[in-house]
Chains A and B, each alone.
Chain A
Amino acid sequence: MIDPAWVSVLSAILFIIGVWGAFTRKNAIIVLMCLELILNAANLQFVAAAIQHGDATGWVYAIFAIAIAASEVAIGLAIFLAMYGQHETISLDDVNLLKH
């Protein structure tokens, strides 16, 4: 049995990679992937906690989060497609019309 602490460390590393990617990358698809990383980091933490406490609630949350992440990806990709149709780019630096 792996010590749940190691799982938490892995989850934290995944989270940091995700946040770093979301903050620094210009490509919208990569940002989306990073967001997925953050979500999965949270899932991992849920699962680790569920195993440690022997409680199924954590599993349920993880399954919900996966379902939500799936739909989020679908919507996100649809937005990027529309964005590309309008601006012919998916670079986040070029999409700042909400500024004023």
Chain B
Amino acid sequence: MGGTSETISSTFIEYAIFIVLLPMLAFPIILFLGHIFNGNQTWVKSAKEGGLIALPIMVATFVLSMLLISEFIGKGTGAHHIGDWLSFGWMSADGMTINEKVFGVGIYIDHVTVMLLFIASFLCMLINIFSIGYMNTDPVNDNRNHRFYAEFVLFCSGMLGMVLADSFLWLFIFWELMGLCSYLLIGFYYEKPSAAYAAKKAFLTTRVGDVFLVIGLVMLWNLFDSLDYAVVFNEDLIAQVDPEQLQLALGMMFIGAVGKSAQFPLHVWLPDAMEGPTPVSALIHAATMVNAGLYLVARMFPFFGAPSMQGDLVDLAFIIAAIGGITAVMAAAIAFVQDDLKKVLAYSTMSQLAYIFTGLGAALWLANTPGMEKYAIVAFGAALFHLFNHAMAKGMLFMASGSVIHEMHHAHHDVHHHDDHGDDHGDEHHDNHHDDFDAQSMENMGGLASKMPITATAMLVGSASIMGLPLIGGFWSKEGIIANAWRVALEDPRFFLPASCVLIGAAMTGFYMSRMWFKTFAGEPKTEVAANVHEHTPWIPIPLVTLTFVSLSSVILAGMMFTHWSSDSSYAFFSEKGLIDGLIYEFEHIFLNSDAFFFVLTYFVIFIGAIVGPGLAMALYGGSLKDGEKSKPWMQPIINLSSRVNAKRGFDNSAWANSGLSNALKERLYFDKWYDAAMLKLVAGFANISAAFDKNVVDGTIKTIESTSQKLSTQVRRLTTGSARDYIMMAALGVLVIYLMLEVMI
């Protein structure tokens, strides 16, 4: 990145390919073993239907990744060329030289790679642990979990491969592999029409973006004759490229990123993707795959930082930031009215990814403007740090929501049995009562804080991290994103749009995340099922506790100057300036900024994000637990506070809840309807034209040929009299004709 791309020679980089290959090899193994041992008790109980085959693979991947990261963290870039898989050439016009094109395979590592490699390998491993608890204890999944684990490891392979790839071509190949796995896993419950529909929708919507990505890559190829990072990031080569064409190519690639990261206007697939099993939502649709788009944009940084491009790409930077800003507010607004636990998180994911896009847009603008490079690195680091914080927190939130839904299912099962069946006990009835009870709806929850302490704590910390409560997780990075967006806005007035959006979004995030937590965990249980929930599924607490501590210890990472990783390594953990120096720098920078504007901005962000948003949520949804129930000491004060706020400041919001805007939000701002209608028009119109073409041109041609030959054949048929004598006559005439022809010609 930037100017300090010092190349590191590493021993582990030669083994880095195994990070990708191990999960890829596990894919057929788990799939075929699953087919062979399906239903076998040893397979189901001891191997967890493949879960315990996937786990060591993911642990090995994580260990390899950590070894690799330890060599590169905060240091420089590395590349390892493994080989060429395709090369072709042709003579140039003068016949003297040969143009040779080579497609290579290799590993490329820099600060962005290190960050995403850690996120991907760490979360893949944790979510694998979570899956063993979540998937294998639900009888609905019996005898098909091997399919889940096989697709799971294939996905991990795709994500890790995309991160480690050394060219945009391989990035695209793994990008599509992830798209495929996303499709397969969303449609895991393929017998449900809604899941099948959601899988198709996700696949087709991201495909729209992918088409543009391909166009962008072809344009990039035209400009550079290569897609290898080593070539396209070369500043001398960038200097020979027309900036307008480069901007167009990068813009096309950005549309691909918009589709993958579910940004406006290609965001419609993400909420529906929640039809997949919760581990899938946690891994693919919160923590890793949706980051692929951000990764792609982050990869464009060298183009924006190149000296020859200064000032030429600011329009694209603005578009990136603006798309982010719009999505941040829109998704947060829709999250206000969602009752489905996972849908709230899905919209929150969209909103937070949009923050990162805004941060990246600001960083790219700064990188592309002369004299602002030093801020660009900080802004870029902040955006990447938010990516890290969001992935950790959102992965955890989804797993916690999975834990809640799982236990709600079990509780519903138990309650149902005790009410109706009495003695009849057996898991085979699990399927029979998929009645109108919705285990994902927050309307059926409430008061779970005392019943699910680990989950509630994880959810609390995760929500705090997403909201940006001071000192926890996302606070450090979100503050950086908002501050840098405003820094740009002061220079370029267009940026007031995204900068205002992310500022408003901070308050909105505070509201909808608090709303989710209070509706789920505070107050009295809203249903009998919620009153009977217990937290007793094995495996699930492991990742929740781990990620809780990761989110809480984000302050240490901030002290390690995560935000400066992108280039300035002088504050890195392993440098001579220690952790404490970094922490002091960070605290001073954020809380005692010498610039009056940013000083005020910081406290304003804290005020609206940590007090106004949650305060409103408390007033509307707060409440104390049932009498006699007590939650853990770190949650009890919050619940008590919420019930006090609710009692004193509670107000009636039914006017708002029944307003047109609220209904519009419930309908997701009608995007799906518009898209469906537009698609219907488009598809129906195209179908009509094709039908006419088929009827008149294609069928017409064939019918003409057919009728002509039919007419001809009725004429010719008359010659076939059936009399041997006529045939002899014809043969004789034929001979005569041949004789005459020879006579004439010779």
Contact = CB atoms under 8 A, between A and B. Distances in A.
Interface of A: 19, 22-24, 31, 92-93, 95-100
Contact of B729 (A23, A31, A92, A99): A23
- What 5 A-B pairs have minimum CB-CB distances, sorted nearest first? A96-B722, A99-B722, A92-B724, A98-B722, A22-B728
Contacts of A31: 724
A97 B722 CA distance: 6
Max chain A CB contacts within 10 Å: which of B720, B721, B725, B732? Answer: B725
Nearest to A28: B724
Contacts of B728: 22-23
Contacts of A23: 725, 728-729
Interface string B712-746: 00000000111111001100100000000000000
Contacts of B729: 23
A1 to B, nearest CB: 31
B725 A95 contact: no
19 contacts: A19-B732, A22-B728, A23-B728, A23-B729, A31-B724, A92-B723, A92-B724, A92-B725, A95-B722, A95-B724, A96-B721, A96-B722, A96-B723, A97-B722, A98-B720, A98-B722, A99-B722, A100-B720, A100-B722
Contacts of B725: 22-24, 92
Contacts of A100: 720, 722
Interface residues of B, number: 9
A93 to B, nearest CB: 7
Contacts of B720: 98-100
Nearest to A97: B722
A25 B729 CA distance: 13
A85 B448 CA distance: 99
A35 to B, nearest CB: 9
Nearest to B721: A99
A17 B729 CA distance: 15
Contacts of A93: 723
Main SS of chain B's interface residues?
Answer: helix
Contacts of B722: 95-100
A92 B729 CA distance: 14
Contacts of A97: 722
A42 to B, nearest CB: 13
Given A92-B724, A99-B722, 15 more contacts: A22-B728, A23-B725, A23-B728, A24-B725, A31-B724, A92-B723, A95-B722, A96-B721, A96-B722, A97-B722, A98-B720, A99-B720, A99-B721, A100-B720, A100-B722
B730 to A, nearest CB: 11
Interface centre among B720, B721, B722 (most CB of A within 10 A): B722
Contacts of B721: 96, 99
B723 to A, nearest CB: 6
A15 B720 CA distance: 26
Interface string B558-578: 000000000000000000000
Nearest to B724: A92
Nearest to A95: B724
Q: Which of B720, B721, B728: most chain A CB closer than 10 A?
A: B728
Contacts of A95: 722, 724
Nearest to A22: B728
B233 to A, nearest CB: 78
A32 B721 CA distance: 20
A24 B723 CA distance: 12
Contacts of B724: 31, 92, 95
A63 B732 CA distance: 24
A23 B729 CA distance: 7
A97 B732 CA distance: 22
Q: Which of B724, B729, B732 has the most CB of A within 10 A?
A: B724
A12 B608 CA distance: 121
A25 to B, nearest CB: 9
A28 to B, nearest CB: 8
A6 B746 CA distance: 28
Contacts of A22: 725, 728
A62 to B, nearest CB: 21
A100 B723 CA distance: 12
B405 to A, nearest CB: 74
A39 B223 CA distance: 81
B733 to A, nearest CB: 11
A82 to B, nearest CB: 15
A98 B721 CA distance: 8
B683 to A, nearest CB: 49
A98 B722 CA distance: 5
A95 B724 CA distance: 8
A98 B724 CA distance: 10
B732 to A, nearest CB: 7
Nearest to A98: B722
Contacts of A98: 720, 722
A23 B723 CA distance: 11
B132 to A, nearest CB: 75
Nearest to A92: B724
A100 B716 CA distance: 12
A76 B725 CA distance: 15
Contacts of A96: 721-723
Most chain B beta carbons < 10 A, residue from A19, A31, A96: A96
B314 to A, nearest CB: 82
A24 B729 CA distance: 10
